[in-house]
Amino acid sequence: MTTDDLITQAKQVLRCNDAGDFTPPSSTQYPHQWNWDSAFVALGLSHFDLPRAQAEVRSLLRAQWRDGMVPHIIYHERASDYFPPPDFWQTQNLPHTGAVASSGLTQPPVLTSVIRTMHERLVSAHGSQWLNFLREVFPRLLAWHRWLHTARDADGTGLPCIIHPWESGMDNSPLWATALDRITPTDLPPFKRRDTIYVSPDERPLMPDYERFVYLIDQGRRLRWEPRALLERMPFLIQDVMFCSFLFRADADLRALALALGEETREMDDWLARTRRVFDARFWDNARGIYLDYDARTRTPIPVSTCAAFMPLFAGLASETQAARLVAEHLNNPAEYAPGTDSKYRLPSVSKREPDYSPRRYWCGPVWINMNWQIADGLRRYGFDALAQEFDADSLALMQQSGFREYYDPRDGTGCGAPQFSWSAALTIEMLAA
């Protein structure tokens, strides 16, 4: 298949999944709007349909809560068999929530970085039309960043905490195993899983994890999704390296957008300086030469190696020495992440050495196209261009071989999860057309 054929097919996926002014990640498995998915989709769309890319961003931000949060699932009055349905969350009619039905959680903040990339590429050709759009969305982005740095700040560091594994985007990552093991999911509201109807149960979270996901939603609704109460009471409270890295990069990108609009940047400067001050002390494990997540409930590091550990490269938070160690000791180590006898494609989302590594089970090991794309971006930042190229080549080879799947088995490239997956298609366009 030629590059042009792949781009054509990727555009077809986005067109097929298009629901008007938003694009579900998959029309069967995830039939509503998801926060970070829509950001990646907007980036892909911006190459061939800028008005539609802008509509994608607007529909996401329309669901912003009054307190600034941008939710992780937005339902937009679309009927579906998805669980949880909109009313399960009990987010409506609270003083701080939004007018559009949504979940009570947020998701990794990649939207601002996507808009900055679009800005660099589009401002000269689209001038005032683009700047008007930027002026419209800027205050909403700022409000979301402010919310992340305050409403989710449990310890005065400004590093946001996540209160549910779904907020990380890496729902059933082994990163959460110990924190979830502490939870006994009693008095669960009645529910029926729907996620194993379209995708094989072998590729989805195990039932004990899923019960805890539902239990945590129930805790959130009992606390009426009130940020202070969530920080004090949610049994799951984690500072995730990937989430915090994305926010740092997004803060820097927001600053660049502020400068383009002639806006004040002091607040962003403060966030950036504060994160730089605390990041290494909180996350860097010098003995292992890797970043580790932090359990803010038990105040202990989480000694599990996953793709999250490489996102400080995407953020520009790693020093040259740290970057070199991440590459030499982990990314290029065949016992952990590099291709070798037991895997062929970059990048297993969990180190092959981890006891919970499972190459087909969702976030326990499969290759994800967005992770590959973000790590490759980070590697280029640190001069590892040839390695970055290997990441892009593997992503494209996987999609050529198995289609635009949600994730892939790193051993043989078998496509897993949902087919016709929107962000895999969108990032193909970004990789090939940029």
In angstroms, what is the minimal distance from the CB of 195 to ligand DGY? 5
CA 161 → CA 99, 215, 237, 238, 404, distances in Å? 25, 18, 6, 5, 32
Verify binding: residue 67, ligand DGY, rule CB under 6 A: no
Select 396 or 425, whichever has its Cβ closest to ligand DGY: 425
Q: Within 70-129, which residues bind ligand DGY (CB under 6 A)?
A: 72
C-alpha 78/C-alpha 80 separation (Å) is: 6
Count of CB atoms situated within 10 Å of the CB of 183: 15
Q: Within 138-197, which residues bind ligand DGY (CB under 6 A)?
A: 166, 171, 195
The two structure tokens encoding residue 9 = 């097919």
Alpha helices in 266-343 (DSSP H): 266-283, 311-315, 320-325
In angstroms, what is the minimal distance from the CB of 356 to ligand DGY? 18
Select 65 or 213, whichever has its Cβ closest to ligand DGY: 213
Alpha helices in 176-265 (DSSP H): 177-181, 195-198, 207-222, 227-233, 241-261
| Phi, psi for 343 (deg, rounded to 5) | -155, 150
In angstroms, what is the minimal distance from the CB of 418 to ligand DGY? 10
Select 48 or 83, whichever has its Cβ closest to ligand DGY: 83
Select 17 or 46, whichever has its Cβ closest to ligand DGY: 17
Select 82 or 384, whichever has its Cβ closest to ligand DGY: 82
The answer, yes or no, to whether the previous bond of 84 is cis (omega within 30 of 0) is yes
Instruction: Give the CA angle between residues 285, 287, 290 to the nearest 5°.
Output: 40
Q: What residue number has its CB nearest to ligand DGY?
A: 166
C-alpha 184/C-alpha 38 separation (Å) is: 34
Catalytic pick from 354, 406, 409, 430?
A: 406
In angstroms, what is the minimal distance from the CB of 410 to ligand DGY? 20
Q: What is the arrangement of strands in the sheet containing 238-239, beginning at the earlier edge strand?
A: 238-239, 293-295, 300-302
Clarify whether 342 is annotated catalytic: no
Clarify whether 171 is annotated catalytic: yes
Count, residues near ligand DGY per rule CB under 6 A: 4
Provide the sign of the torsion angle of the four alpha carbons 356, 361, 14, 140, taken in this order. Answer: negative
Q: Within 343-402, which residues bind ligand DGY (CB under 6 A)?
A: none
Catalytic pick from 171, 195, 209, 293?
A: 171
Instruction: Give the CA angle between residues 362, 182, 308 to the nearest 5°.
Output: 40
C-alpha 113/C-alpha 242 separation (Å) is: 14
In angstroms, what is the minimal distance from the CB of 390 to ligand DGY? 28
Select 362 or 382, whichever has its Cβ closest to ligand DGY: 362
Which residue from 71, 99, 98, 74 is spatially nearest to 86, judged by alpha carbons? 74
Q: Within 301-340, which residues bind ligand DGY (CB under 6 A)?
A: none
In angstroms, what is the minimal distance from the CB of 432 to ligand DGY? 27
Give the active site residues: 171, 406
Binding site for ligand DGY (CB under 6 A): 72, 166, 171, 195
